[in-house]
Amino acid sequence: MGRKVLATPRSFGTGSQGAADLLARRGFDLRLNPYGRILTKAEMIREIRDAEAVIVGVDPLDQEVLSQAERLKLISKYGVGTDNIDAAYAAQRGIRITTTVGANTEAVADYAFTLMLAAARRVIPIDRACRGGDWTKTLTVDVHGSTLGLIGLGHIGKAVARRAKGFDMKIMAYDHLRDEDFAVRHGITYVDTLQTLIEQADFVSLHLPLNEHTRHLIGPREFETMKETAVLINTARGGLIDETAMLEALKAGRIWGAGLDVFEREPPDLEDLHTLDNLVIGSHCAASTRHAVENMGMMAVRNVIQHLCGEEG
């Protein structure tokens, strides 16, 4: 039996056997997620116990889990967000953490723009009405020529900005780390405060990590000062938004709509999510395209081979 590598993402290897074959050729024993969903802590402890590496999505890897993984040497993140990993404890144990930066950038940017269009133009309720025989015209809001506010201008934020230029959108960005050259080349205006962006943007799209400084970054005060025609988009992490405040704003019509692919708890247990026509929801699937899944799988596996075998994959 080879050295065990646990892969928990449900999409791992679904488009191609290339990543799995690469591990097999290096003598690794690949174990896939047997549950067909995000693992619980108890399940994760059981599955990771004898693994040397784990290729992980959003499954829990806190100190309690990692303390039971005595052979673990590498956490190969299938994506870029590491808020589900206790990085400090991993470092204390000498466990390396790698990510697949860039592997799913274009797929997530596509989905962010899809949510933007769907929420602005009420695509889902219009489709539902038409299927029921109701062909009433629905008045919606424009995307073309409107103002897009990007909170976070990293790889994915930049990819969304490039798409927005095709819609002649005015783009503003809020980010502590500024890429002035990119901003100048793409006509993006940096703002000094989050509140400025919130007040002026027609569309607010989140592209930043979840940590102690960004949790509930968008809360009651932000919803009170957004435009009534504003649309909020989140393909980053659910905890960035105070979901209770968001639902209140959507129900009261204080903002036009929202498109969310991520939630604080997945699946979410908020009943109003299923009844609001001004909300479009996804199952954390922005990166789930054939190309992105293959990219993430191959990059995650190459990280395993590089760090456990000392060679390129």
Active site (annotated) includes residue 3: no
Question: What is the rounded CA–CA span in Å between residue 241 and residue 152?
Answer: 14
Selecting among 222, 284, 294, 302, the annotated active-site residue is: 284
Residue 303 lies in domain: 3-103+289-309
Q: What is the pLDDT of residue 274?
A: 86
Q: What is the pLDDT of residue 13?
A: 86
Q: What is the pLDDT of residue 203?
A: 98
How many structural domains compose the chain? 2
109 and 94 in a single domain? The answer is no
- Quote the mean pLDDT of the chain: 96
Q: What is the pLDDT of residue 1?
A: 55
134 and 247 in a single domain? The answer is yes
Active site (annotated) includes residue 237: yes
231 and 179 in a single domain? The answer is yes
Which pLDDT band, with edges at 50, 70 and 90, does 16 fall under?
Answer: confident
Which helix (H) or strand (E) segment holds residue 292: the answer is helix 290-309
Question: What is the rounded CA–CA span in Å between residue 236 and residue 217?
Answer: 12
Selecting among 122, 207, 237, 302, the annotated active-site residue is: 237
144 and 92 in a single domain? The answer is no
129 and 181 in a single domain? The answer is yes
129 and 190 in a single domain? The answer is yes
> What DSSP letter does each residue of 79-125 carry, written as one string?
SS--TTB-HHHHHHHT-EEE--TTSSHHHHHHHHHHHHHHHHTTHHH
185 and 262 in a single domain? The answer is yes
Question: pTM here?
Answer: 0.92
Q: What is the CATH number of the domain that holds 46?
A: 3.40.50.720
**311 pLDDT higher than 80:** no
Selecting among 64, 199, 248, 266, the annotated active-site residue is: 266
Strand, helix or coil for residue 225: helix
**313 pLDDT higher than 60:** no
Structure tokens, 53: 């590496």
Angle between helices 290-309 and 105-120 (to 10 degrees): 150
Active site (annotated) includes residue 284: yes
